[in-house]
Amino acid sequence: STSGPLKVMISGAPASGKGTQCELIVKKFGLVHISTGDLLRAEVSAETEIGNKAKEFMNAGRLVPDEIVTAMVTARLSLEDAKEKGWLLDGYPRSSAQAESLEKLNVRPDIYVVLDVPDEILIDRCVGRRLDPETGKIYHVKNFPPETEEMKARLITRPDDTEEKVKARLDIYKKNAEAILSTYSNIMVKIDGNRSKEVVFKEIDSLLSQVHRDEVKLVKSV
Ligand code: AP5
């Protein structure tokens, strides 16, 4: 049933490593990375109407209303590059209503990857996370410190990365995960995300390459 460019969804709790793996996936497979968290943070820092609405929800660790996020994602998915190169959807859908919106539009991934990481590790990853506002790269004070002092000086901390807010985000994730999984259970692959990022990527790489090969075979057999 799959044809055309690769379509991937990546999911997992806050700080399970979605953004980190997406950097590696994009480098290898050239997919268009659509991260609702990144898109929303860009709207917030540009102080747009969407950003101003989203800000209070994000800073509290709560979900931004479905209609705002869904409009943003469907607009991005309909652009030519996503159709041509394929896409990597990160952080969406996050509620059953969001999953339903995609189903209605006939937007389905080839594979649904879930990163599995124990709760106590997630808190430490969030609290230690730092972002480079210039390159968008993700660092961690212990696990992935920046290469130079100059970079270190410009790193920022996300306002929703305090222990208290991470717990709230994790709670919301758990409440919604089940409902979304039921939509994608036949294409879902769970991956142990509590290993080095290289090892985790190796597993994702081989999964996506497999989907890719199956698609090529399909196209050739037509
Ligand atoms: P979003 O930005 O999507 O946040 P999230 O799901 O909480 O995920 P994170 O970005 O926190 O983590 P990640 O899994 O990408 O981990 P990372 O690779 O950075 O959403 C933020 C907010 O926006 C939401 O709370 C909500 O308000 C709103 N929002 C977004 N989408 C929405 C939607 N669809 N509907 C409604 N609202 C929405 O890694 C984390 C840390 O761990 C880093 O420091 C990294 O260096 C480190 N690390 C990564 N991998 C490893 C490894 N293998 N070993 C050791 N350390 C690692």
In the structure, what pLDDT confidence band is assigned to residue 4 with cuts at 50, 70 and 90? confident
Per-residue pLDDT of 143-167, as tens digits, reads 999 999 999 999 999 999 999 999 9
Instruction: Tell me if 116 sits within 8 A of 87, measured CB to CB.
Output: no
**What pLDDT, on a 0 to 100 scale, did the predictor assign at position 222?**
52
Q: Note the pTM of the prediction, 2 decimals.
A: 0.93
**What pLDDT, on a 0 to 100 scale, did the predictor assign at position 216?**
64
Structure tokens at 27: 């480098």
**What pLDDT, on a 0 to 100 scale, did the predictor assign at position 7?**
97
* Structural domains in the chain, sorted by start: 7-194 (3.40.50.300)
Query: Cα 172 to the chain's mean position, in Å?
Result: 16
Instruction: Tell me if 189 sits within 8 A of 12, measured CB to CB.
Output: no
**What pLDDT, on a 0 to 100 scale, did the predictor assign at position 218?**
62
**What pLDDT, on a 0 to 100 scale, did the predictor assign at position 101?**
96
Per-residue pLDDT of 8-22, as tens digits, reads 999 999 999 999 999
Whether residue 39 has pLDDT greater than 90: yes
- This complex has an ipTM of 0.97
Q: How far is the CA of 51 from the centre of ligand 1 (A)?
A: 18
Per-residue pLDDT of 176-202, as tens digits, reads 999 899 999 999 999 999 999 999 999
- Nearest atom in ligand 1 to the alpha carbon of residue 138 is 46
**What pLDDT, on a 0 to 100 scale, did the predictor assign at position 138?**
93
Catalytic residues: 18, 94, 129, 158, 169
Q: Which residue has the higher pLDDT, 222 or 147?
A: 147
Ligand 1 pocket test target in 129, 130, 142 with most atoms within 8 Å of CB: 129
Whether residue 215 has pLDDT greater than 90: no
Mean pLDDT along residues 90-95: 96
**What pLDDT, on a 0 to 100 scale, did the predictor assign at position 1?**
41
Per-residue pLDDT of 40-72, as tens digits, reads 999 999 999 999 999 999 999 999 999 999 999
